[in-house]
Every structure is written in structure tokens, then in C-alpha cells.
Homo-oligomer: A and B are copies of this chain.
Amino acid sequence: MAAAAVVSNGDYAAVKTPSTGRFAAGYSEVQNSRLDHSLPLPSVLKSSLKVVDGPPSSAAGNPDEIAKLFPCLYGQPSVNLVPGDSAGELAPKALKIGVVLSGGQAPGGHNVISGIFDYLQDRCKGSTLYGFRGGPAGIMKGKYVVLTPEFIYPYRNQGGFDMICSGRDKIETPEQFKQAADTAVKLDLDGLVVIGGDDSNTNACLLAENFRSKNLKTRVIGCPKTIDGDLKSKEVPTSFGFDTACKIYAEMIGNVMVDARSTGKYYHFVRLMGRAASHITLECALQTHPNVTLIGEEVAAKKQTLKNVTDYIADVICKRAELGYNYGVILIPEGLIDFIPEVQQLIAELNEILAHDVVDEAGIWKKKLTPQSLELFDLLPQAIQEQLMLERDPHGNVQVAKIETEKMLIQMVETELEARKQASAYKGQFKGQSHFFGYEGRCGLPSNFDATYCNALGYAAGVLLHSGKTGLISSVGNLAAPVAEWTVGGTALTSLMDVERRHGKFKPVIKKAMVELEGAPFKKYVSLREEWALKNLYINPGPIQFVGPTADKVNHTLLLELGYQE
């Protein structure tokens, strides 16, 4: 490694000295302190190893359809890495590997890349690692950078995806597959690592199938990324980024809780990222003990209406007022209203009406709504009504994502409490404060857990490609144990798939892992929520620590799902 080098990627145009781990400019002390943080590897990755095939695999559902969609790959075994003698070891050889980041940011992405890189340096001398820029589009357009020690160094243990950036394009049409294949051939790629969520890993498997069907030598391995925590299975216990993002949100929630208790006069409504599943909200609740937590999956399972949700919150507020508490903290998953059937129905009707009718000031258009939807519409605060009418996407559809659910709930709760006050059923004071924690958590410096986990995922992806595997997702398990004991392998992506019918065709999907209402994290929350609602058992997790006795703690969700009782 050079003693000093000018980093060539524009954003870090600072003279750095890898040997001391210090930048002349551009990094904070904490960023600098992370550069040389050494990452423990699972024991199996530290010495001679061999790749052991498991039994033939099936699919998560509809195996016959998955078999048709993946004729080359379906049924292939998942694999485990186990200690081997040096005789059975993979022969060192120079590989050409590409890596791509796909979709939204999650803390630890850079460490997956450095993990792959380190594996190649350690075991496959003379290899080349290409970083495709800007996500899958970078593969299709052949936009890449050769990753060198100097290029990678400043991103070690740093948050963000800015080393090579990400993108949301997909490789799915025959033309796009051809572009990807052209790049793979042109660069003579032995392998490609796709770092992404459920969709991206599905597409990684389609690409692996496509390459295999064309007899290309390029293998494709996926890595599980998403702060939302909804890409997981028995073999892949968690997606990276979830741990860090939840800890960052929980830090903020904990601070707001102490503020609420100190001030004694605000209800803080905190919306948290996580459009599909409510894992983030649940984990943050387990970390901080809020007074109310809404879990989308529960709302859906109980077929709750917006009025039910409002009443639930108002009930807790009324009970707390009787105890003398006119403050509290309420957690709301970003995707809440997607879980409420009546809201979906209203939005569908609005889309239909607004596409064809003129909205008159007098409100005659409203007569086209079904009675239930009209009732719901009239229940909504005026600002939300306007948002529904005015904020349209380019196709003229209501933009559900733009609705500030936390503000909507504050207004609805306020109205409900006012009515109860009139009926002498509530005597407290209610003041709502809204928060949305999202972007703050996607690019934080990865926690020690995410940093180490990602490094292992990347290192394992290197092994899998080295051993000629394709269509697997890098899988690191036994995560509650010391890192030395973590298990490492690759899971057949087809084994995680089911099909969905879209536009009359079967599409393969890795089903999003939703919050299980029978799962240990949710059950733990349910067992405690009544106490949390009325007592003030707030916990302030504080800022993520990178050194010291608290630095290596793993999130509750993972521990509970792995069977640990806390």
C-alpha cells in the first residue's frame, strides 16, 4: 500500500496517508477513527476452508413455476463453508469480479465491497475488482471504476454508498440482459456481486440464470441489504443496515422521550422509515419503550380503520391524563396507511374520480365516492384532504408517500380529544409535535455489528465466486454468538422465491419478510405495551458507541428471532 496517495475520486480529493489512517482534510475525528478499525472474521474464513453443498433445494412457494422461470438454477443446493485441510482448498487464481450497489442506502455497503476486495487480496492475488457506478445502470452502460487499495481505503467502515453510488434501475428486459452480458464479456468477468434488497436479489438471480443460459462464465452472488429489515429468512437472519439505522432512530427517539418527560406537555408523533414492513418501528419500540407503537401488520391483521387507530391513541392519552401525564411518545411506521384497507379503497376511488371528473368547489364530485369512502374523507383533516386532492404523481395518482401520517394522526387525535372533552370524558391538555426520522439513518457510520457483518458478507461472496457458485445469496448466521463462531455459506436464491401474478404472467419474487404477529419480537412488545402505555418506562439508547463496553450490542429483533430471551 502506498505511503501517501492522492485519492482519485473527486469527493475525497484530499491527500491521505493510509499508513496513519489520517486525512489532511475532509474527515471528522470519528470518521478517521473508523478507518483503521479492524474487523474480526468468522473463524471459518480465517484458515483453510471448503465449500460443502447441501441437499437439492426447492422454492418458498410454487416450486413448479420457479423451476420454469429458472431452468438452469432451480433446485441447486445451498452451501456451507466449513474448515478444510489445505489439500482440499480452493486453488488461488486471479479473478475479475464486479460489484454493484442497488437501491436505497444502508449503513455497511462499503464494507461489503471492502470485504470482497480483502478476500481477493488475501486469497486470489492478481485479481481485479470493478465497481459499477450508479447501480445496475452502471452494468448496462459499462460505467465502472477499478477498485484499488487507495480508492477503497477512505470508505472503510464509513456510511453511505458514495464510493460507487447506487441506482434504482433494473436489468429485466432482453435488451437489458444483453447489455449486462456485453459488459460481463467485455470485462471478462468471473463474477458479479449484487448488493441489494428483495427485488435486487431476485434480479440478481434472474441475471445469474440468464448468464448461465448463455454459457457465460460470469457468476452472480447477492448480498442482503435494506435498513427496512424485510429481507430475511432462516438462512439470512438479517439484512445489513437495519441494526445501525434502528440505533440512530432510537437515539433520536430516546432523546425526544427525555424531552417529553422533562417538559411534560407534548405528545411526540414520530414517523419512522419502513414503507412495507414495520420492523424498524418495532425494533425502535423494543429499544425505547414508547407509550404507543403502531405496527402496520397488526393494523392490517385486525382490519383496523383509521378511526380505530385514532381511538386507540386517544384512549391511551386519556388514561395517561388521568394519571397526570399530558405527554408521551408515539411511533408510527411510514407505511401505516398502506395497511388500512379503507384508506386504500378511498385512494383508489379518488384516483378514478380525479382522472375523469372535474373537482368542483361545491363538492358535488364527492357524491361519486362510496358512502364508506365519503365518510372517511370527511373524517380526514382538511390539510390531508387537500394533500389527497392536490399532490398527484405524473400519472395523476394520489401520492400516498407524500402524506405526512404523523401530522394527520395528530389532527385526528386532536379532534377526537376535543369531542371527548365536550363529553367530559377527557380533561387533559394535548399538544402534538411531529417528527419524521428517515434520511438520518440510511447513511450513518455503520455500527460495529453492521461493519463486521458486512465485511463477512463480502468476504463470503468472494469465496462463493472463487468456488464457482452462482445464484446464491451470501449468508452469515449464528449472529448472536461471538464473531468467531458465525456460520458462513450461500443460500440458493431460488429457494427463497415464490411467484406473483403480474399482468397475467408469473413473476418470481422473494417475499418481503413482514413483522410476524407470532414472532418473538412482536410477542415481546405485546407483552409489555400496556405497561409502556401508562408508565413512563422510556429508555434512552444514546448515540452509537464504537468503542467501550456498549459498542458491540446487537439489536433486539435479531436476538429475539434467534431465540434469545432478553
Contacts and interface: CB of A to CB of B under 8 A. Distances in A.
A360 interface: no
Given A105-B263, A165-B262, A255 B30 contact: no
B537 A26 contact: yes
Contacts of A161: 262
A263 B158 CA distance: 16
A105 B255 CA distance: 11
B259 A30 contact: no
Interface string A527-552: 00000000111011111111111100
A105 B259 contact: yes
A258 B550 contact: no
Interface residues of A, number: 60
B441 A255 contact: yes
A529 B10 CA distance: 19
A420 B25 CA distance: 35
A268 interface: yes
A345 interface: no
A435 interface: yes
A105 B31 contact: no
A394 to B, nearest CB: 13
A445 B542 contact: yes
Contact of A540 (B159, B165, B535, B546): B159
A439 B443 contact: no
Interface stretch (A66-74, A201-209, A246-254): A246-254
Contact of A30 (B264, B433, B536, B543): B543
B262 A160 contact: yes
Interface string A547-559: 1111001000000
Interface in A441-467: 441-445
What is the predominant secondary structure among interface residues of chain A facing chain B? loop
Interface string A233-273: 00000000000000010011011101101111010100000
B28 A539 contact: yes
A561 interface: no
B540 A543 contact: no
Centre residue among A34, A166, A266, A547 by max chain B CB count within 10 A: A547
Interface in A344-369: none
Contacts of A506: none
A385 interface: no
Contacts of A27: 539-540
A11 interface: yes
A543 B435 CA distance: 19
Interface in A514-533: none
A162 interface: yes
A440 interface: yes
B255 A26 contact: no
Given A29-B553, A30-B550, A160 B261 contact: yes
Nearest to A433: B439
A33 interface: yes
A443 B29 contact: no
A255 B443 contact: yes
Centre residue among A28, A31, A553 by max chain B CB count within 10 A: A28
B28 A254 contact: yes
A11 B255 contact: no
A513 to B, nearest CB: 24
Contacts of A541: 28, 30-31
Contact of A444 (B28, B255, B439, B537): B255
Nearest to A444: B255
A493 to B, nearest CB: 25
Interface string A15-38: 000000000011111110110000
B264 A165 contact: yes
Centre residue among A25, A162, A537 by max chain B CB count within 10 A: A162
Contacts of A30: 540-543, 545, 550
Centre residue among A29, A439, A539, A546 by max chain B CB count within 10 A: A439
Contacts of A548: 33, 546-548
Centre residue among A166, A537, A545 by max chain B CB count within 10 A: A545
B259 A160 contact: yes
Given A26-B539, A30-B541, A262-B165, A440 B255 contact: yes
Given A251-B543, A548-B33, A162 B256 contact: no
A356 to B, nearest CB: 26
A445 B160 contact: no
7 contacts: A10-B536, A27-B539, A31-B540, A33-B548, A162-B258, A256-B440, A548-B548
**3 residue pairs, one from A and one from B, having the closest CB atoms:** A30-B542, A543-B543, A160-B258
